[in-house]
């Protein structure tokens, strides 16, 4: 195999050295150009030109060029790395190993040097020996995360080995690795990664939402809802036991996740929590219509995973000067196919003090995911621009008869 094919194959397989953001201040170029070093640096460009040309040992070879560069700066860990890579391309593994070890002695806390040392072990078929170096890099900086995780994938490092030795202990790296799994891992790897992250209390609501959205995307609704319930068990102990809605009293700031209230902006409407008006507890949700638009409103919503059967939705609503013939209530719809289920509660207008809004309904056999939204249908009247305020509190979704 020619040296250019060899080097290109190494780059593709290992995915570490030549994808790093920097080499201690030296910026590699792409393979299609002079892919390594600018003329202003101490490494002779001709060393890499010869390396790419397959001229490795002997007079005029890459080894000779890099030895000359090293002779001018014996204390440089980068020069030792360059020579080591030339020896490795020539098949002199032990000579290359010596150079890498000298580089590590001179630059033990340099992420680029640690990266190149890790790459040496990946290229020599010793991926487990690379893990201490990649774990140290991950602990120090975040720029190399995806490069390192992709190298784990390419080089056949098992997930068990990654979790045991390839990641430092800490929330940032754990979350970064899990997001990598969501994008590129198998369902089994994602599940194992989530269990590992959760067991170490490294998962926040944002990461949990990424996981449950992943599960919902593949139709694994019960698993998704169970994961969210487990993640939030200390905050919402009755969730999915007596009430299939999360944070129904708005006592906590909505997380904006798929299984909490999501509040989306709408022209002519302001929606936020209100501590000055509540039917129970200290908070409610206030939705204020500014009288500027004939609003089709469905911008506060939450998903709920259900089984077929009878359910009862209830909420307390307080209105103040809600105008037009089309008022404000709730809509409950099959999130996959509204033709299977699409119902609405009574919609309130005018001024009414904490009315109980209720709707019983039957979840059909194929419905598994509901979307519950605060709802106002556009008016067909001439005077159709809605104004006024509505407060919502104590929203519940319960199995009927329980």
pTM of the model: 0.83
For residues 276, 256, 307, 185, the Cα torsion angle rounded to the nearest 10 degrees is: -160
Residue 233 located in a structural domain: no
Residue 343 located in a structural domain: yes
- H or E element that contains 362: strand 350-363
Residue 128 located in a structural domain: yes
276 & 390 share domain = yes
* Tally of structural domains, the chain: 2
Nearest to 397 by CA among 341, 342, 357, 346: 357
Position 62 scores a pLDDT of 87
Tokens (6 digits) for 230: 């487990």
Alpha-carbon gap, residue 84 to 76, rounded angstroms? 13
Report pLDDT digits (tens) over 17-72.
Answer: 433 333 333 433 332 333 333 433 545 577 777 878 788 988 888 898 889 889 88
293 & 384 share domain = yes
Report pLDDT digits (tens) over 105-148.
Answer: 999 999 999 999 999 999 999 999 999 999 999 999 999 999 99
Tokens (6 digits) for 97: 């190993």
**Residue where a domain stops, chosen among 134, 165, 193:** 193
Radius of gyration (C-alpha) of the chain in whole angstroms: 30
Residue 187 located in a structural domain: yes
| Coil, strand or helix at 388 | strand
Position 19 scores a pLDDT of 37
Report pLDDT digits (tens) over 192-222.
Answer: 999 999 999 999 999 999 999 999 999 999 9
Residue-wise DSSP of 173-233? HHHHHHHHHHHHS-HHHHHHHHHHHHHTT---HHHHHHHHHHHHHTT-HHHHHHHHHHHTT
288 & 388 share domain = yes
268 & 183 share domain = no
Alpha-carbon gap, residue 342 to 245, rounded angstroms? 18
Alpha-carbon gap, residue 364 to 334, rounded angstroms? 10
Alpha-carbon gap, residue 381 to 252, rounded angstroms? 38
Tokens (6 digits) for 353: 């003090």
Beta strands in 237-323 (DSSP E): 262-263, 269-274, 284-290, 297-305, 309-322
Q: Going edge to edge, which strands form the sheet with 262-263?
A: 262-263, 297-305, 369-376, 329-334, 342-344
CATH of the domain at 301: 2.60.120.260
**Residue where a domain stops, chosen among 174, 193, 212:** 193
169 & 298 share domain = no
Report pLDDT digits (tens) over 333-371.
Answer: 999 999 999 999 999 999 999 999 999 999 999 999 999
130 & 7 share domain = yes
Residue 211 located in a structural domain: no
Position 290 scores a pLDDT of 97
Nearest to 383 by CA among 353, 349, 357: 349
164 & 60 share domain = yes
345 & 268 share domain = yes
Domain that holds residue 174: 3-193
Q: Is the pLDDT at 277 greater than 70, yes or no?
A: yes
36 & 153 share domain = yes
31 & 169 share domain = yes
Position 25 scores a pLDDT of 39
Nearest to 400 by CA among 336, 301, 315, 314: 314
Tokens (6 digits) for 255: 């997380």
Do 262 and 254 meet the contact criterion of CB atoms below 8 Å apart?
yes
**Residue where a domain stops, chosen among 169, 193, 217:** 193
41 & 184 share domain = yes
Position 52 scores a pLDDT of 81
Q: Is the pLDDT at 237 greater than 90, yes or no?
A: no
180 & 35 share domain = yes
Nearest to 48 by CA among 63, 70, 58: 63
Position 178 scores a pLDDT of 98
Residue 198 located in a structural domain: no
Residue 368 located in a structural domain: yes
- Paired with 355 in beta bridges are 317
Backbone angles phi, psi at 155, to 5 degrees: -90, 10
Residue environment code for 88-116, b if the CB has 16+ CB neighbours within 10 A, otherwise e: bbbebbebbbebbebbbebbeebbbbbbb
Nearest to 283 by CA among 292, 291, 274: 274
pLDDT range class, residue 402, cuts 50, 70, 90: low
Please state, rounded to an integer, the average pLDDT across all residues of the chain: 89
Q: Is the pLDDT at 88 greater than 50, yes or no?
A: yes
Q: Is the pLDDT at 1 greater than 70, yes or no?
A: no
Position 371 scores a pLDDT of 98
CATH of the domain at 173: 1.25.40.10
Instruction: Report the pLDDT averaged over residues 310-325.
Output: 98
Residue 67 located in a structural domain: yes
């Amino acid at each position: 195999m020619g040296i250019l094919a060899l080097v290109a194959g190494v780059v593709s397989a290992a995915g570490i050295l030549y994808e790093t953001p920097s080499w201690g201040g030296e910026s590699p170029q792409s393979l299609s150009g002079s892919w390594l070093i600018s003329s202003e640096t101490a490494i002779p460009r001709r060393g890499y030109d010869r390396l790419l040309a397959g001229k490795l040992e002997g007079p005029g070879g890459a080894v000779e060029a890099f030895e000359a560069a090293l002779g001018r700066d014996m204390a440089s860990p980068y020069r030792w790395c360059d020579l080591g890579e030339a020896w490795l391309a020539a098949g002199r593994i032990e000579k290359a190993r010596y150079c890498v070890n000298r580089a590590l002695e001179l630059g033990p806390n340099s992420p680029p040097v640690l990266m190149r040392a890790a790459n040496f072990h990946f290229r020599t078929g010793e991926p487990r020996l690379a893990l201490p170096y990649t774990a140290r890099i991950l602990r120090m900086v975040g720029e190399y995360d995806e490069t390192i995780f992709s190298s784990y994938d390419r080089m056949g490092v098992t997930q068990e080995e990654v979790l045991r030795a390839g990641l430092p202990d800490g929330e940032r790296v754990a979350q970064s690795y899990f997001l990598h799994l969501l994008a590129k891992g198998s369902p089994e790897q994602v599940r194992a990664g989530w269990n590992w992250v959760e067991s170490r209390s490294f998962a926040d609501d944002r990461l949990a939402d990424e996981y449950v959205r992943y599960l919902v995307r593949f139709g694994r609704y019960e698993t998704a809802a169970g994961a969210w319930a487990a993640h939030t068990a200390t905050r919402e102990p009755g969730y999915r036991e007596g009430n299939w809605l999360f944070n129904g009293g708005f006592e906590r700031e909505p997380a904006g996740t798929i299984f909490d209230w999501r509040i989306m902006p709408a022209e002519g409407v302001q929606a936020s929590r209100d501590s000055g008006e509540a039917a129970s507890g200290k908070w409610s949700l206030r939705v204020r219509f500014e009288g500027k638009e004939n609003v089709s409103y469905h911008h506060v919503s939450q998903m709920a995973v259900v089984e077929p059967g009878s359910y009862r939705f209830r909420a307390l609503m307080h209105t103040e000067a809600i105008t037009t013939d089309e008022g404000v209530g709730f809509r409950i719809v099959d999130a996959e196919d509204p033709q299977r289920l699409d119902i609405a509660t009574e919609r309130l207008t005018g001024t009414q003090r904490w009315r109980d809004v209720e709707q019983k309904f039957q979840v059909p056999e194929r419905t598994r995911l509901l979307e519950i939204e605060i709802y106002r249908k556009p008016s067909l009247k001439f005077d159709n621009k809605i104004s006024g305020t509505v407060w919502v509190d104590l929203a519940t979704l319960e199995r009927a008869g329980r």
